[in-house]
A and B are shown apart, each in its own frame.
Chain A
Amino acid sequence: MNAKLKNLSQLKIGQSAIIDSFTDKNLALKLLEMGCTPGEIVKLDRVAPLGDPIAINISGYVLSLRKAEASTVLISLLAAKI
């Protein structure tokens, strides 16, 4: 399982994954309250024109965050496309 873990900044546009855990306690709290809880499905919606920040679909809305912030979110990829 752990071998398959990636972080959210590595997702490709249109790709979905399941949130696993966080590596930064401060950011985790902010992300959790925004609905990014472990077990939720995230999808990379788009990337800003300059390559950063990114926008994700989570809990039925669009959330934007910087890549550095996204890299603190560990995810496991979904095998099939959802």
Chain B
Amino acid sequence: MEANHSFVNFSDKTFLKVALVGNPNSGKSTLFNALTGLNQKTGNFPGVTVDKKSGTAKLSASVTAEIIDLPGTYSLYPKSLDERVAFEVLCNTDNRDFPDVTIIVADASNLKRNLFLVSQIIDLKMPVILVLNMMDLVEKEGDVIDAIRLSEKLGVKVVGVSARNKEGIEALKQAILQPLPVPQYDFIDLKILAPELIEKISDIVNVNSDFAAFQIISNFSEIQYFDKNPDKKEKIAAVLNASAIEGQQLQSLETVERYKVINRIVADCVTHKSAVKTESFSHKLDSILTHRIWGYTIFLIILFLIFQTIFFLAAYPMKWIETLFVVFSNIATVTLPPGELTNLIVNGILAGLSGVIVFVPQIALLFAFIAILEDTGYMARVSFIMDKLMRKFGLNGRSVIPLISGVACAIPAIMSSRTMSSWKERVITIMITPLISCSARLPVYTLLISLVVPANKSFGIFNYQGLILMCLYLVGFSAAMLTSLVMQRILKAREKSYFIMELPVYRSPQWRTVGLTIFDKVKSFLFDAGKIILAMSVILWYLSSHAPGDRLEIIEKKYETPEMVKTYSSEERKLKISSEQLESSFAGIIGKSLEPVIAPLGFDWKIGIALVTSFAAREVFVGTMATIYSAGNSDNTHTLREKMHSEVNPVTGLPQFSIAVGFSLLIFYAFAMQCMSTLAVVYRETKHWKWPVIQFLYMSALAYLSSFLVYHFLK
């Protein structure tokens, strides 16, 4: 093969666009982190749900580069969403992200398969630098790669790097600024595969390589960027229809041809020290981690650790955050002049901010675990040992982690579904996770169970209250699995689902990657989902603290009469005022107007108000009930329980919180989508309002029907 080429030189430019591509597990993200550090941002690729990670790096005193971290891909065939992004950016010269330079990251310890993508990009005839990453692993195995020879054979610049140890990063930056060879030869002769067609397509579309034309031929039905240009699209379609060529067939032939050339190059440039490979460390570790007893035991222990951490450990910093915001509110109340604006700042904005930031500890801790599991290569083994079980429910082995985390909180859990590559399985996981009973339901469950289930009765050694609580968790879990089964049938797959997946070699986790993952997740939660949550909390605050006309003032005046002052203590009056004010507020009006709708479930308007306010967070139910029943401090549920217990239904004359109502409400809270933060996160993760809306509707319907049945069965 003749490696003749021309050169480009970017050293006189001040701004460069650099794309980073490579196979999954090639260390691409590590290199991206090493190049950009904290100068990263997450955006969108237009029209797709794939996150676009980009960042800036200073290449020299005068040159800055914008580096786009393209999703990991094995080829430039647009089969999955991730692959489509890489395809669109690199094959469409009109794409706004089309790079000046492309850096291809290859796992040097796995050179053959990594060179496949390299060969495709070389044939696009764009300025390319090949980064051989993980050279330390190659040396460890005793192999030698002749980088100079490889560079000659491929006709591109080759730089050896160990991104983990940050070795070779400076050399890479320098390499971009030196004259870069642009490959001019064909890695394989595509014209033999598609004679005449390549020329015909090149006449219609302005392409700078045979491979770009070949890609249009073999992937035409997948390509979206011609939609803006129907004229061209029609012409291409006409040419392709006339030729009766089959895209898949072409790609298969292309792949086989490429590997033939690659095999020759690898044989030429790589020397294996010993013919017989010793059993690798990864292989030995897999014998334990995918063992039928040890594998599951260890996975269970890991799940247990994750659960303990986000359920119990996270509770401390969450408490600190809440305390801190109480302090802020107190300061603001004291220092700011009393009035509507202060009220908005203290009870609307500060309370809303507290409600957003309180999730940060759980998100940070869960993603610390996930980053470690991903970075070490263990996550792939989770898929491997759990696939058969989860597949039955339309889920993926990786769904296990979101589902278990959902017991603590659906918000970090839904964010963790990002590790799933199949869109359909990921959407199902996102849709069912909120059915798992989260920690915010616990206060609601505890209050209601203590209200309707006698404390001193037990079934054998099992306390009734504890049994009911356990049943609620089981009901939530079963509902999640059943919903998954249904959705598996309804949802159409956007892409073909494969399991075909690399089991990467185990590596020790890098704290830098873990730290950056946490930083990235927390940032994207705070700024993307956080603003929606904040806006909704301000709205909810307004609804529950404002009323039409001067109703609130009238109530206050009512309790200021000497007669009232005589009858009630100031504490009692305060409680009665807030109770009546909530009742006449907008939230109260909504709650009351809900009564006809929720009456079939056994709920009165008081519960209606609590349903409205607890949309901020489920545990608010308890606080709202305390206000409505003038029960004072919501931390002490004893008084509230007494008051709710003695509440009499005005129609039947029987206790309002009968067993039927109690269980109906329990089931309602188990299933209902009573959490605006979750909806905001679902929107953030799916990038479409359609999914949170569907989720809200199906969960509400499920809750309503189940409560209805429970109420009428027990009545």
Interface of A with B (CB < 8 Å)? Answer: 25-35, 37-38, 45-46, 48-53, 55, 59-66, 69
Selected contact of B283 from candidates A25, A32, A45, A53, CB within 8 Å = A45
CA distance A38 to B389 in the complex (A): 32
Inter-chain contact B113/A35, CB cutoff 8 Å: yes
B683 contacts chain A at the CB level, 8 A cutoff: no
CA distance A6 to B163 in the complex (A): 42
Q: Please name 10 pairs of A and B residues whose Cβ atoms are closer than 8 Å in the assembled complex, sorted by A.
A: A29-B252, A32-B259, A48-B290, A48-B387, A52-B388, A60-B109, A60-B112, A62-B503, A64-B380, A64-B501
B483 contacts chain A at the CB level, 8 A cutoff: no
- Nearest B residue to A68, CB-CB: B499
B498 contacts chain A at the CB level, 8 A cutoff: yes
Interface digits, B651-684 against A, CB 8 Å rule (1 contact, 0 not)? Answer: 0000000000000000000000000000000000
Task: Tell me the residues in window 370-407 of chain B with beta carbons closer than 8 Å to chain A beta carbons.
Answer: 380, 383-385, 387-389
Q: A29-B79, A49-B295, A65-B500 are in contact. List 20 more A-B contacts (CB 8 A).
A: A29-B248, A29-B255, A30-B500, A33-B116, A35-B112, A37-B256, A49-B292, A49-B385, A50-B389, A52-B387, A55-B384, A59-B112, A60-B109, A60-B112, A61-B502, A61-B504, A64-B380, A64-B383, A64-B503, A66-B387
CA distance A35 to B40 in the complex (A): 33
Looking at chain A's contact residues, is the secondary structure mostly helix, strand, loop, or mixed?
mixed
Given contact pairs A50-B388, A63-B503, A35 touches B79 in the complex (Cβ within 8 A): no
Selected contact of A25 from candidates B109, B248, B501, CB within 8 Å = B248
Inter-chain contact A28/B388, CB cutoff 8 Å: no
CA distance A2 to B282 in the complex (A): 36
CA distance A67 to B384 in the complex (A): 12
Inter-chain contact B387/A53, CB cutoff 8 Å: yes
Q: Which residues of B contact A64 (CB under 8 A)?
A: 380, 383-384, 499-503
CA distance A60 to B504 in the complex (A): 11
- Nearest B residue to A37, CB-CB: B259
CA distance A50 to B387 in the complex (A): 9
B251 contacts chain A at the CB level, 8 A cutoff: yes
Interface digits, B286-304 against A, CB 8 Å rule (1 contact, 0 not)? Answer: 1100111001100000000
Inter-chain contact B292/A34, CB cutoff 8 Å: no
Please provide the 9 A-B residue pairs with the shortest distance between their CB atoms, ordered closest to farther.
A49-B292, A50-B388, A32-B255, A35-B113, A62-B503, A33-B75, A66-B499, A37-B259, A65-B500
B496 contacts chain A at the CB level, 8 A cutoff: yes
Q: Which residues of B contact A33 (CB under 8 A)?
A: 74-75, 77, 116, 255
Minimum C-beta distance from B121 to chain A (A): 14
B110 contacts chain A at the CB level, 8 A cutoff: yes
Q: Which residues of A contact B291 (CB under 8 A)?
A: 49
B112, B248, B259, B500 interface centre (most CB from chain A within 10 Å) = B500
Minimum C-beta distance from B399 to chain A (A): 16
Minimum C-beta distance from B79 to chain A (A): 7
Given contact pairs A35-B259, A63-B500, A28 touches B292 in the complex (Cβ within 8 A): no
CA distance A29 to B247 in the complex (A): 11
Minimum C-beta distance from A56 to chain B (A): 10
CA distance A30 to B421 in the complex (A): 15
CA distance A59 to B384 in the complex (A): 20
Inter-chain contact B498/A27, CB cutoff 8 Å: yes
Number of chain B residues whose Cβ lies closer than 8 Å to a Cβ of chain A:
42
Given contact pairs A48-B388, A64-B380, A29 touches B251 in the complex (Cβ within 8 A): yes
- Nearest B residue to A45, CB-CB: B283
Selected contact of B385 from candidates A27, A35, A48, CB within 8 Å = A48
CA distance A66 to B380 in the complex (A): 14
CA distance A26 to B296 in the complex (A): 33
Task: Tell me the residues in window 80-121 of chain B with beta carbons closer than 8 Å to chain A beta carbons.
Answer: 109-113, 116
- Nearest B residue to A62, CB-CB: B503
CA distance A34 to B290 in the complex (A): 22
Inter-chain contact A69/B498, CB cutoff 8 Å: yes
Minimum C-beta distance from B133 to chain A (A): 14
Minimum C-beta distance from A35 to chain B (A): 4
CA distance A46 to B381 in the complex (A): 12
Inter-chain contact A31/B110, CB cutoff 8 Å: no
- Nearest B residue to A22, CB-CB: B252
B109, B282, B290, B291 interface centre (most CB from chain A within 10 Å) = B290
- Nearest A residue to B116, CB-CB: A33
- Nearest A residue to B283, CB-CB: A45
Given contact pairs A25-B252, A49-B385, A63 touches B502 in the complex (Cβ within 8 A): yes
Interface digits, B627-660 against A, CB 8 Å rule (1 contact, 0 not)? Answer: 0000000000000000000000000000000000
Q: Which residues of B contact A61 (CB under 8 A)?
A: 110, 113, 502-505
Minimum C-beta distance from A75 to chain B (A): 16
CA distance A41 to B255 in the complex (A): 17
Q: Which residues of A contact B77 (CB under 8 A)?
A: 29, 33
CA distance A4 to B389 in the complex (A): 33
Q: Which residues of A contact B282 (CB under 8 A)?
A: 62
Inter-chain contact B79/A30, CB cutoff 8 Å: yes
Inter-chain contact A34/B500, CB cutoff 8 Å: yes
CA distance A64 to B116 in the complex (A): 19
Inter-chain contact B500/A69, CB cutoff 8 Å: yes
Inter-chain contact A62/B502, CB cutoff 8 Å: yes
Q: Which residues of B contact A53 (CB under 8 A)?
A: 384, 387-388, 499
Q: Which residues of B contact A34 (CB under 8 A)?
A: 74, 113, 500, 502
CA distance A33 to B116 in the complex (A): 7
Inter-chain contact A46/B290, CB cutoff 8 Å: yes
CA distance A73 to B320 in the complex (A): 57
CA distance A64 to B505 in the complex (A): 13
Q: Which residues of A contact B256 (CB under 8 A)?
A: 32, 37-38
Inter-chain contact B496/A26, CB cutoff 8 Å: yes
Given contact pairs A29-B248, A33-B116, A65 touches B387 in the complex (Cβ within 8 A): no
Q: Which residues of A contact B290 (CB under 8 A)?
A: 46, 48-49
Minimum C-beta distance from B176 to chain A (A): 28
CA distance A45 to B109 in the complex (A): 18
Inter-chain contact A26/B248, CB cutoff 8 Å: yes
Task: Tell me the residues in window 122-178 of chain B with beta carbons closer than 8 Å to chain A beta carbons.
Answer: none
Inter-chain contact A35/B116, CB cutoff 8 Å: yes
Minimum C-beta distance from A21 to chain B (A): 11
CA distance A37 to B112 in the complex (A): 12
Inter-chain contact A31/B500, CB cutoff 8 Å: yes
CA distance A59 to B263 in the complex (A): 10
Interface digits, B472-514 against A, CB 8 Å rule (1 contact, 0 not)? Answer: 0000000000000000000000001011111111000000000
CA distance A64 to B252 in the complex (A): 21
Minimum C-beta distance from B625 to chain A (A): 46
